[in-house]
Chain A
Amino acid sequence: MEHPFAISLDVGTSLANLTGSWRTSRPVYVDRLPPCNNACPAGENIQAWLYHAESGDYEAAWRTLTADNPLPAVMGRVCYHPCENACNRAQVDEAVGINSVERFLGDEAIRNGWRFAPPLADSGKRVLVVGAGPSGLSAAYHLRRMGHAVEIHEAGPFAGGMMRFGIPKYRLPRDVLDAEINRITDLGVVMKLNTKVDRVVESMRAGRFDAAFLAVGAHIGKRSFIPAGSAAKILDAVSLLRSMEGEDKPLLGRRVVVYGGGNTAIDAARTAKRLGATEAIIVYRRTRDRMPAHDFEVEEALQEGIMMKWLSTIKRMDEGVLTVEKMQLDEKGFPQPTGEFETLETDSLVLALGQDVDLSPLDGVPGLVINDGVVQVAANMMTGYAGIFAGGDMVPSERTVTVAVGHGKKAARYIDAWLHGAVYAPPEKHEVASIDKLNAWYYADAPKTVRPMLEIARRQSTFEEVQGGLDETNALYEARRCLSCGNCFECDNCYGVCPDNAVIKLGPGQRFQFNYDYCKGCGVCAQECPCGAIAMVPEEI
């Protein structure tokens, strides 16, 4: 080829120059574990369902959510949302209202009649689930979706367990609970009510079950010996809450004292108030900051006019009068008696001193170990008797609906593997996407959406739901507050900020790829990734 004067080479492209050889460390795309997912006792993939919700695809969001937890409308009302406590956004402005979006999705599903996909094939295996509470329902749901035939034997007249007999209506309306339970039985889970299992091994044999999951709730109120006159009216909180589900509402009188400091004590006092008590007083032996009840519930109770009497123990009850001893905290924070007494007028005393599990179905099962009133289980949720698994309130753990649902899912996976003669190996957890892995500068400021609350007067006299839900607009807004910690949300930052044009955009939903032929390893992409989904790893040189 003829070249102009002083030109001896044709123009070439710099693409011939593979600058990737300069690199000493390389960026890699990672999926880190969002703190919310890490904190969720039910093992929900929260970041993933918020990802769908924020694009307005609520059904996809709900389906992702219910892959782990079949009760989102219940969860969105009664969960104590440890996810929100862990949320990285709390360090930017306020935590994402995960719980309120969950409730919105659950309510949307009920409103639109979304149903679960039936199992693809039947396994031919039969599993007995004892107890139709959150843990039993969760296990039944997951086992059924894995293709097993599942029968729930429930001792009570209704399904729901402690969700129905322990959580008042003003926190969990029963039509919501029924809708979510019905969706599980629609999958083909057989629900046998009023069917108490007395001997689990015999029930298994009689029903030709291959495995059993025991999920009996802690519905026996603990009694404390309080000397009482013959006319003193003493009842326990669990019985009080359970009787609210029957025809005859309990008669408590005008003045009601509740003894205890847990969530059940709060529920009992708020229920008493709604039943017409002019005075509902919670007596607790320690102080507010040491109460096991959740602070927002204490706050809501105080708003409704519930009174609190701290540092007090009840010594005896006579007709209409309680004798109370003042306490003081020692250096270790334990309450110690002071010898000072006072009296408190009351018509009835409700004991909320903790609950026990009825372990009678386990009588005579060989190999079981029971400590402190709960069944010991191995890491795979199996008791000492092969094929009998247990979860929820009856195993050593925190007793919440969410934990119970998580147990149900976990047990279902191990039961499924056990039925196939295999061992379920949980996938390894990814590194947690802590706030230092994020570049929060990229997130716009946005305060949390506040959920509407029922007015006080109606909270004191009716059992209407106290906390309202979000509508579509603010649920979408709230979902979009998610930072997507540790998981690419296709913001194009890496693609944009690379000085070497060494990031390949693969198109919507396909994420990105590094072009290691040209990537010099500068690390700008990792530094500027808002959600911490890129890690720099040293090259082997």
Chain B
Amino acid sequence: MLDATQKLHFYQKGTFTVGNRLVSDQKRAVQASIDRSNALTCGHRACQGCGEALGARYAMDAAMRATGGNLIAVNATGCLEVFTTPYPETSWQIPWLHSLFGNAAAVATGVAAAMRVKGRPEVRAIAQGGDGGTTDIGFGCLSGMFERNDDVLYICYDNEGYMNTGVQRSSATPPAARTATTPAMGPEPGNVFGTGKSMPKIAVAHGIPYVATATVADLHDLERKVTKAMSIHGARYLQIHVPCPLGWGSASHDTIRLARLAVECGLFPLFEAENGVVTGSQKIRRRVPVDDYLKPQRRFAHLFSTEEGRGRIGRLQRLADRNIAEYHLIDAEGDG
């Protein structure tokens, strides 16, 4: 055991951190570089500790490196669009377009087609939006983009609701979560335990070349997935889990911690799929019960005050357990 560990080039401080002074620049995250593009720069109006602002810079900077700066981004309506581009200011340091709430996938398809026609195939297109613009409003356009296998990477920043307009429920809002439209009252407080709508699974079902989930809590994994996505042509889908301090009722400094706990409890599985087949998943490093993830969020506070609430936590735990089994998030030995 010890010998095996020591044979590894052991840089314990750099395994999970953004950078590491002991390894070459190529082995560090894009975010560690002084020369990162800062595609989304300072002065934007996102809330303190915004997970989406962070996720967008992570993904775009990685894509900028992967494409050598030949990148055009199309944005759906949503927080990301609103807080980065209050007229006439912009926080984007890349070519960036916004059209409507629901048509980002279609607009990006057009951008890719235009670049092809102009003889600039090296210029790549990315569409991005929140979960509302993806799983609800933009669903039709997105499915079409998938099914035609258009050369677009679609990135969904999943903060589990319509946060910009005042925290309304979306089809990505988890069961039991309190939102403005699913108040914590009545016999079924918070969002319903519906059937669920997994956009990554829907994307896999389209058989597109590449689908992945990522999180702001695991930068190395996120950048690897963006880089891989940009190395592939055709329709690709990436869903990034981005905690929202405002909508979730969490402390602004807990954004990354919550994203990490979502992975570690099993509620947000990290996996990849190619051509309709799941090819791998990130193992849980230190498993925690869902309570650890739910407790710091006020949208789940009602679960902790009643006996029925405890029962609902149990149901959420079963969802997590199901993910762990389905995506093999824990090694067979059981210690992760």
Contacts and interface: CB of A to CB of B under 8 A. Distances in A.
Contacts of A495: 18-19, 31-32
A501 B40 contact: yes
Contacts of A518: 42-43
A501 B251 CA distance: 19
A524 B49 CA distance: 6
A441 B15 contact: no
A480 B21 contact: no
Contacts of B17: 442, 491-493, 530
Given A447-B1, A489-B21, A496-B219, A522 B49 contact: yes
Contacts of B256: 497, 524, 527-528
A14 B90 contact: yes
Q: How large is the interface on B (under 10, 10 to 19, 20 to 34, 35 or more residues)?
A: 35 or more
A26 B329 CA distance: 38
A14 B90 CA distance: 5
A517 interface: yes
A490 interface: yes
Nearest to A439: B257
B213 interface: no
A480 B54 contact: no
Interface in A502-521: 502, 505, 507-508, 515, 517-518, 520-521
B2 interface: yes
B235 interface: no
A477 interface: yes
A446 interface: yes
A78 to B, nearest CB: 26
Contacts of A520: 48-49
A281 to B, nearest CB: 36
Given A447-B5, A501-B40, A527-B253, A492 B49 contact: no
Interface string B1-20: 11001100011111111111
Nearest to B19: A492
A522 B29 CA distance: 22
A55 B28 CA distance: 16
A15 B90 CA distance: 9
Given A446-B10, A522-B48, A524-B253, A55 B53 contact: no
A515 B16 contact: no
Nearest to A505: B34
Contact of A492 (B29, B51, B252): B29
B307 interface: no
B252 to A, nearest CB: 4
A307 to B, nearest CB: 33
B44 A450 contact: no
Interface of B: 1-2, 5-6, 10-22, 28-29, 31-32, 34, 38, 40-46, 48-51, 53-54, 57, 84, 87-91, 219, 245, 251-257, 260, 286
Given A447-B1, A491-B21, A527-B257, 10 more contacts: A9-B87, A13-B41, A13-B89, A14-B45, A22-B48, A473-B6, A492-B20, A499-B50, A521-B48, A524-B49
Interface of A: 9-19, 22, 54-55, 441-444, 446-447, 449-450, 473-474, 477, 480-481, 483-484, 489-493, 495-502, 505, 507-508, 515, 517-518, 520-524, 526-528, 530, 536
7 cross-chain pairs, A with B, having the tightest CB-CB distances, nearest first:
A492-B19, A523-B253, A496-B18, A14-B43, A522-B49, A491-B17, A522-B48
